[in-house]
Amino acid sequence: MAGSAGTSNGFQQAVRQVKEHRQGKSEAMQEAKKEQDGRRETNMQVIWAPWRMGYVSQERKGGCFLCRKAAETEDEENLILARWEKCFALLNTFPYNNGHLLIAPYRHVGEYEELEEAEVLGIGEGLKRVLRAEKAVLRPDGFNVGLNLGEAAGAGAPEHLHVHVVPRWSADTNFMPVLAATKVIPQHLEETWKALRQALAR
C-alpha cells in the first residue's frame, strides 16, 4: 500500500509539473504575442500623402480628364510629356513620387483586353521611352509600373485605362509613397515636365 501511495503521489506530482510547464509556456507565448502586437501597433505604417488632398477635394470637371487633356493643345499646362501615334504620356498632377507619370491610349477604353494591337505596342514602346528618359533625368534606383483596372483596384479613371510609372529611390518608402508625416517632392512639376519633355524629344 505504501509503495502504491508513493507511486500515486509521484505520478500526481509529475502531472502537476507537466501542467505547470504547459501553463508557463502558454503564458510566455501570450507575452511574446503581446510584445509582437505592440511592435506591430507601434510600427504601423500609414500611407500618408497630404499634398494629394488637392486631388481629393478638387471640383471635378465633367467627362474624362485623359480625353480632355489629349484633345487640348496646351501641353505644358496639361503636363503632357509626349504624344505618339496611339498614346501619350503626361505627369500626374498629384504624384506619389517625383516623376510619377501616366501613359494612356487616346481612345477611351477601360479594359486592357479591348486594346487594339497597335495600342498595346504603342504603350509598350512609350513605356520604354519614358523609362529611358526618367533614368537619364532623375536617376532613380527602380520603378513601380502598373495598371489599376476597375474602381475596386483603385483606378481614378476606370473608364480610360492608363499605366502608372513611379520612380523609386533606395532611401524612399514602401510601395508608392509616403510612410511618415511628411513627404518631400524635391522638384517642382513644371521643372520635371521641362526636363523629361526635353529628354523624350531626343
Q: Which residues are catalytic?
A: 162
Q: Please report how many Cα atoms fall inside a 13 Å half-sphere around the Cα of residue 192, on the Cβ side.
A: 23
